[in-house]
Homo-oligomer: A and B are copies of this chain.
């Protein structure tokens, strides 16, 4: 019996599984978790979907988003971790489980190369574009045919993690899965609009300022977003409004990095690399994680110090990986 069959068997024999996705959830964490929750409800299970942090406004359209719990309930008989590379990424919900529930087997479903295989059953498929793609396989194996809600959740996960089918791992097999999800009723244009097309005008004003602090250093393009810039542009969220993805499309750069000064003064470092390069190891060595092409970390130090350390590490990684 392979790992997927073992997971299906566990899910089918559970009566009240708790599904937990990672803190600061993105479209794949939420989509995979909510998609699996819908499938388990269809099978008559009392499954709860739990996440430490609130569902971002971008993903509030996901079916079931309003039923995501911040704290676990009780009476669980199985723990399922979705899109988490380690135990810590499940955050408070796992910590808040009772001692008995903490001794339950953990089913670990993830596609991150940095996954630590912390579960009792670990299905870590680093060739999957999204954890949602893996959940679709499980759902189909369990004989659940996706309805429009389930398909919307899973397609959102795939759209998010492939940046709209742009990543190098988006294969014909992935597109066949996308076709099935659309045939089940998922509306790709609507999902893409939610995920990508909701940039407030304040973000344009923010980028205008960030562009004036954007520099090319060899083949690394980097930019800075300070608290002052966010204030002046009335941009409220604690992020870069997608700037790092935008900069990664600049032809002169192989790697893009954005340093965002958060409200609490920590520096959020977000990195992107062209196919063939890997920034996940630099992120991991600085206490973060991610994928070869998209990774990040959070540093508690002055902005300039963070810039110096990260650029120096990235230049070294670039030289090593390109042999230049």
Contact = CB atoms under 8 A, between A and B. Distances in A.
A200 B211 CA distance: 13
Contact of A252 (B201, B221, B252, B275): B201
A189 B171 CA distance: 9
A211 B214 contact: no
Given A172-B183, A176-B179, A183-B172, A252 B200 contact: yes
Contact of A196 (B166, B179, B197, B203): B166
A200 B251 contact: yes
A196 B199 CA distance: 19
Interface in A71-113: none
B167 A166 contact: no
A250 B172 contact: no
21 contacts: A164-B164, A165-B192, A166-B192, A166-B193, A166-B197, A169-B189, A172-B183, A175-B178, A175-B179, A179-B179, A189-B275, A193-B275, A196-B249, A197-B249, A197-B251, A198-B249, A198-B251, A199-B251, A200-B250, A201-B216, A207-B207
A37 B57 CA distance: 47
A175, A178, A197, A211 pick with most chain B CB within 10 angstroms: A175
A307 B201 CA distance: 20
Interface of A: 164-172, 175-176, 178-179, 182-183, 188-189, 192-193, 196-201, 203-205, 207-208, 211-212, 214, 216, 221, 247-253, 275
A100 B66 CA distance: 69
Contact of A165 (B164, B167, B201, B211): B164
A73 B164 CA distance: 42
Given A197-B249, A249-B199, A250-B200, A188 B164 contact: no
Nearest to A172: B182
Contacts of A199: 249-251
A196 B172 CA distance: 20
Nearest to A169: B189
